[in-house]
Amino acid sequence: MQISQLLISACQQLDKLTDSARLDAEILLAHALKKNRTWLATWADKSLPDNEINSFNSLLERRKAGEPIAHITGSREFWSLDVKVTKDTLIPRPETELMVEKILSLYPQQNNIELLDLGTGSGAIALALASERPGWKITATDQSPSALDIARQNAQRLALNNINFQSGDWFEPVNNRKFDIIASNPPYIPHTDPHLSQGDVRFEPRSALASGEDGLDAIRLICQQARTHLKPEAMLIIEHGFDQKSALRSIFMLSGYKNIQQDLDLAANPRLTHGFNH
């Protein structure tokens, strides 16, 4: 069977499951053949031997059973970095790149920034910032030792040496340290949200996704406790749900932050809130 035919058939099989059927099929076939997607397009008429078709089909079956693409291939691209992910980490989302972009644009020059990435998961935010700002001193924490292990492996593989990984619950590992920036993509989905039992998120750690009745437990805690871990004028920046904009504004205000600003993601949803300690 030719590559083009294989992809059409895979696409039909994935159609009901996902709105990215063609892309999913191409990523899986490229992964099975250890090639890239450009190679598939170039060799669309090539017929593949049975063993290659079989290994593609076994990946396709996993996808048809709902498993996320990033778990099948073992990685996801974030900020142009190849980030290893497993079932112990959240799969980095494109909207989180916005946080990286925002931090870089607010701190274009400073070279001696101390930044804390709370709940780093696969390490995505810390890795992206470390790659852009080699002079920064980055601390990345997570309560899950297995997530932290993946994050450490990512830093090592990407040769990023300016991240210090610490395991523990939220601020516990950094007890009396203070930072210039605290960044977090915490869990923010209400734990009764039906979205949690649908699609790819079913395969991700619940602790990285859901936080209390209204999804805001972790965010409330971080906002309150961050104050004592921020230097004067330092910034707290948090990713949150598209419908949590006004909740975030009041939590930031009640916790005493100044110059609070909120930003939209690429789909024009409010996604980021930041404010400053005084």
Q: By CB under 6 A, tell whether 92 contacts ligand GLN.
A: no
Residue closer to ligand GLN (CB basis): 174 or 209: 209
User: Least distance in Å: CB of 188 to ligand GLN?
Assistant: 5
Other C-beta atoms within 10 Å of 33: how many?
Answer: 17
The answer to the question of residue 56 lying near ligand GLN (CB under 6 A) is no
Binds ligand GLN (CB under 6 A): choice among 70, 189, 219, 248: 189
Q: Please, what's the b/e burial string for 248-271 (b: 16 or more CB within 10 A of its CB; e: otherwise)? A: bbebbeebebeebebeebeeeebb
Q: Which residue has the tokens 């996801």?
A: 76
Q: How far is the CB of 240 from ligand GLN (least distance, A)?
A: 8
Closer CB to ligand GLN, 48 or 210, in the complex: 210
Instruction: Write out 34-94 in H/E/C secondary structure.
Output: CCCHHHHHHCCCCECCHHHHHHHHHHHHHHHCCCCHHHHHCEEEECCEEEECCCCCCCCCH
Helices (H), 65-202: 69-73, 97-106, 124-132, 145-157
**Does residue 188 interact with ligand GLN by CB under 6 A?**
yes
> Minimum distance between the CB of residue 200 and ligand GLN, rounded to whole angstroms?
8
Specify which residues 77 forms β-bridges with: 82
Q: Is 245 in the site for ligand GLN (CB under 6 A)?
A: no
Q: Can you tell me which residue has the tokens 């396709």?
A: 60
- Under rule CB under 6 A, residue 191 binds ligand GLN: no
Would you count residue 187 as binding ligand GLN (CB under 6 A)?
yes
The verdict on 85 binding ligand GLN (CB under 6 A) reads no
Minimum CB separation from ligand GLN for residue 1, in Å?
35
Residues 208-227 that bind ligand GLN (CB under 6 A): 209
The contact set with ligand GLN (CB under 6 A) reads 93, 185, 187-189, 201, 209
